Amino acid sequence: MKAKRERSEYKIQTDFIAYCRARGWLVERLIGNAFQTGIPDLYLYHPKWGARWVDLKSPGRYSFTKAQRIKWPLWEKFGLGIWIVTSADQEGYDKLFGPPNWRKFVKKTWKIPTQEEIDKMLDEIEA
C-alpha cells in the first residue's frame, strides 16, 4: 500500500511543488470545481523561465478528463502550452524546459477535438 501511495498523483504533486519552489518558482495549486473544469493542477512562474501550466500524472496510470480533452486543444490553438509531469525529480523538472508535451500522453482511444471541431466551438463562443 505504501508503494502505491508513494506514486500517487497527490504525492507527485506535493513533492514537485517543493522541488520547484526550491528552485525559485512561484507555484499556484489550482483546484477545479463544477464551474472550472479542465484546468491543469499547477500554474508555475519563474522570473527567468516564464510561465508554465502543469498537470501531474501518475506514470502509467493516468487519464484526461473530458474537459481536459476539449479545453487543452483549444488552449493550444491560442498558444498556451500544457506540460505533463510524472515525477518530482530532475527528470520531471527537466520537462518544464522542453516544449509543451501533453499530446505525448494522449491515448489512441481518447476523443480529442479536431481543428475543425475547435473552430466550431470558437464560433459558438463568439456568437
How far apart are alpha carbons 95 and 127 in whole angstroms?
38
Place of cell 456568437: 127
Its pTM stands at 0.81
Beta strands in 1-81 (DSSP E): 26-29, 42-46, 50-56
Position with higher pLDDT, 108 vs 43: 43
Q: Return the CATH number of the domain spanning residue range 2-126.
A: 3.40.1350.10
Tell me the domain boundaries of the chain. 2-126
Asked whether residue 1 carries a pLDDT value surpassing 70, the answer given is no
pLDDT by residue (tens digit) across 37-82? 899 999 999 999 999 999 999 988 888 888 898 899 999 989 999 9
